[in-house]
Chain A
């Protein structure tokens, strides 16, 4: 079955440590996205990538980094510079920007807790 997979579902880290969240898709989608969601809030865009080896900052990129070495994978690193890292992180993918009507498919999310 095609889909988008995030792992792990729950993640605990000590303050000051970097942590990398995994996102893999087998939908052959060009575009991938990382969002952050806080309680009672909508989704905020962290980073996005329209094609391999290229990515752009979203609205709240400070304290985060990404890479896009393979089409299928778009890992997100939460660095120690991120002041409030505890949140629910969602990865999504869609067909490329050349497509007019695109829907994004989301993973099931990773809930990161920093203590």
Chain B
């Protein structure tokens, strides 16, 4: 079962920031939050991940609430090429085995 819930779809104007929310209220203390995106009929692409602290890389920023029950992925200046399905994922570690638990994702449409 997915450990995350996301809006089914969102819209964003080109050039504006896209803020994608994710709820993971049952996350455990050692479980990481990962974000991937998938452009239609392609393989998913890694964006960013975090545990407790906010993270930033060249693609996006990840803001995690203090209680870790939710997070927000921020695309600072969305372009048309950012139109994709964005997956918020919890990584579950069980001994030496590591699994990504995928939800249904948010379909982001960036409009001109």
Residues of chain A having any CB pair with chain B under 8 Å? 4, 6, 31, 35, 40-45, 48, 50, 56, 58, 88, 90, 92, 97, 101-109, 111
Contacts and interface: CB of A to CB of B under 8 A. Distances in A.
Contact of A101 (B43, B44, B49, B100): B49
A97 B99 contact: no
Nearest to B42: A108
B43 A109 contact: yes
Given A42-B2, A111-B41, 20 more contacts: A4-B43, A35-B102, A41-B104, A42-B105, A43-B44, A43-B100, A43-B102, A48-B97, A50-B96, A97-B96, A101-B32, A101-B49, A103-B46, A103-B49, A104-B100, A106-B43, A106-B45, A107-B43, A108-B43, A109-B41
A36 B102 CA distance: 11
B103 interface: yes
Contacts of B87: 42-43
Contacts, number: 51
10 contacts: A40-B104, A42-B102, A48-B97, A50-B96, A50-B97, A92-B43, A97-B97, A104-B46, A107-B43, A108-B43
Nearest to B102: A42
A92 B46 CA distance: 11
B98 interface: yes
Contacts of A111: 41
B34, B46, B87: most-surrounded residue (chain A CB, <10 A):
B46
Contact of B44 (A45, A56, A102, A106): A106
A107 to B, nearest CB: 5
Contacts of B45: 106
B32, B96, B100: most-surrounded residue (chain A CB, <10 A):
B100
Closest 9 A/B residue pairs (Cβ):
A106-B43, A42-B102, A103-B46, A43-B102, A97-B96, A106-B44, A108-B43, A97-B98, A42-B103
Contacts of A101: 32, 49
Interface string B37-52: 0000111111001000
A25 B100 CA distance: 20
Interface string B83-112: 000010000000011111011110000000
